[in-house]
Amino acid sequence: MTIELDWENLGFNYMNLPLRYIAHYKGGKWNAGELTSDHQLHISESSPALHYGQQGFEGLKAYRTKEGTIQLFRPDQNALRLQKTARRLCMPEVPTEMFIDAVKQVVKANEDFVPPYGTGATLYLRPLLIGVGDIIGVRPAEEYLFTVFAMPVGSYFKGGLAPSSFVISRDYDRAAPLGTGGAKVGGNYAASLQAEVGAKKAGYADAIYLDPTTHTKIEEVGAANFFGITKEGEFITPLSPSILPSITKYSLLYLAEHRLGLKAQETDVLVTDLERFVEAGACGTAAVISPIGRIDDGDRTYIFHSETEVGPTVKRLYEELVGIQFGEVEAPEGWIVKI
Ligand code: PLP
Ligand code: COI
C-alpha cells in the first residue's frame, strides 16, 4: 500500500484515479477495450446519452480481505443487470465476460487505492454504458461507449450502523408504472433529484418513493431498496416492477432465510402497515445496510427499533453480508470473485 488517504473518512466522493477502462461499440461490435489515463470522455455534442438519456450504469465494489487479497461481490449479477438495462434502452449488451474482465483490469490497475482491511472503506466501481454519435432525431445510437472507473469510498448514508431518518416523497415519483424504474438508468435519478434535495434540506438522509400507480406502497429508499423485520421475525422487502432489483436485496433475502432462519419474502409494503416492522433498513451497494431509525409521512412518524441504535436482526444481517464481502464469513457458492 503506497497511497496515504484518510481511509476512515472518505464519504462517497469522486476521485480521479490513474486508470480506467474504455471500449467502443461501432459497426455492430465491441472493440478490444483498453485502460486509459484520460478521465474525460470525448463524444459528439449530439450524443443520444446527453439529450435523450440513452445510457445505463452499474455500481459494485472491490473489498480488501484480512490477508490483503482483493475480491468482488457477485459481479456477474451486475453484468446481467446492465444487459437488462441495455435491452430496455435499445443499447447493445456488454457480455458478462467482457464486463467482469473490465472490472478486474480496473481494480488491478488501481490496486493501491483499494482501501486497507479494517477501515470499512472499499473501492467503488462504476461501469457506464452510453449512446454516442452524430444523431439528433430520437432513435437509438449506432455507437456506444462502455467505461469502468473507480474510486475509494466510505459510507453513503451515516457511517457504519448508525440509523438514518427518511421522509416519504408525496410530491414526486421517481418512476412511471411501465417506465424505467426497474432499469439502472440516469433518468430515474434525474427524476428523483427534487425530492432528494428537499428531503436533505429538511434534515433527512433521503426521500422514500412510493409506487407510482397507487401511492400507497413503499418502493425505494433514495438509491437503495427497503426491507423491514416484523415482530414475528420475517424479512419483508417490496416487490414491484418499478423498483431497481437490488443485488444486495436478493443477497439479504437469501441470507435471511438460509443463514438467519427467518421467513423471507418480497411482497407489497403498504405505508399504512409500517407499524408491523420492529426494525427496518435500506440496502444497496453504496448504502450497504443502513438501519432506518425513523420515517416521516406528513404528520405521521414511524420509529423502527430506535433512532440511535441498530436493532439486533439488522445487525446480524449486516455482519453476515459484510463478513462475506470482506472474506470473513463463508460465502454461498459463486458469490465471491477473487482478483
Ligand atoms: N435502488 C436504487 C435506486 C439504486 O440506485 C441502487 C443502487 O445500485 C439500489 C437500489 C441497490 O442496488 P444494489 O444492491 O444492486 O446496489
Ligand atoms: C449503488 O449503490 O451502487 C448505486 O448505484 C447508488 C448510487 C446511485 C449512489
Q: ipTM of this predicted complex?
A: 0.98
77 Cβ closer than 6 Å to some ligand 1 atom: no
Grid coordinates of 243 = 423498483
Residue with the smallest CA separation from ligand 1 atom 2 is 223
Which pLDDT value is given to residue 2?
A: 61
pLDDT of residue 266: 97
Per-residue pLDDT reduced to its tens digit, 271-291: 999 999 999 999 999 999 999
Cα 217 from chain centroid (whole Å): 21
| Phi, psi dihedrals of residue 68, rounded to the nearest 5° | 95, -5
pLDDT value for 4:
86
Strands in 161-221 per DSSP E: 164-168, 206-210, 218-221
Cα distance between residue 317 and residue 264, in whole Å: 12
Nearest bound ligand to the CA of residue 151 = 2
Q: Which of 184, 263, 315, 338 is catalytic?
A: 184
Cα distances (Å, whole numbers) of residue 315 to 225, 280, 319: 17, 11, 6
Read off the pLDDT band of 158 (50, 70, 90). confident
Q: What is the distance in A from the centroid of ligand 2 to the CA of 137?
A: 30
Residue nearest to atom 3 of ligand 2 (CA): 59
Dump pLDDT digits (tens) for 103-153. Answer: 999 999 999 999 999 999 999 999 999 999 999 999 999 999 999 999 999
What CA–CA distances, in Å, run from 314 to 17, 123, 202, 288?
Answer: 34, 24, 26, 11
Contacts of 86 (CB under 8 A, 6+ apart): 56, 92, 93, 94, 129
Q: What 3-state class would DSSP assign to 88?
A: helix
Ligand closest to the CA atom of residue 248: 1
Residue 255: what pLDDT?
98
Among protein residues, the one whose CA lies closest to atom 3 of ligand 1: 223
Grid cell at residue 195? 425530492
Between CA 155 and CA 163 the distance in angstroms is 12
For helices 75-88 and 96-109, what crossing angle results, to 10°?
Answer: 120
Verify whether residue 26 is a known catalytic residue: no
> Ligand 1: does its nearest atom lie under 6 Å from the Cβ of 225?
yes
pLDDT in tens, 302-332: 999 989 999 999 999 999 999 999 999 999 9
Mutating to test ligand 2, I would choose from 57, 156, 189 the residue with most ligand atoms within 8 A of its C-beta, which is: 156
Predicted pLDDT of residue 3? 79
What per-residue confidence (pLDDT) applies to 160?
A: 76
**What does the pLDDT average to over 25-40?**
97
Ligand 2: centre distance to CA 245 (Å): 12
> 97 Cβ partners below 8 Å, 6+ apart?
none
Predicted confidence (pLDDT) per residue in 212-253, tens digit: 999 999 999 999 999 999 999 999 999 999 999 999 999 999
Residues in the ligand 2 pocket, defined by CB under 6 Å: 59, 223, 284-286
- Ligand lying nearest the CA atom of residue 127: 2
SS3 assignment, position 248: helix
CA torsion sign, 332 to 147 to 14 to 290? Answer: negative
Closest C-alpha to 269, from 329, 331, 214, 199: 214
Q: Which residue has the cell 428531503?
A: 199
67 Cα–ligand 1 center, Å: 29
User: 138 φ, ψ to 5°?
Assistant: -80, 100
In the prediction, which pLDDT does 155 show? 86
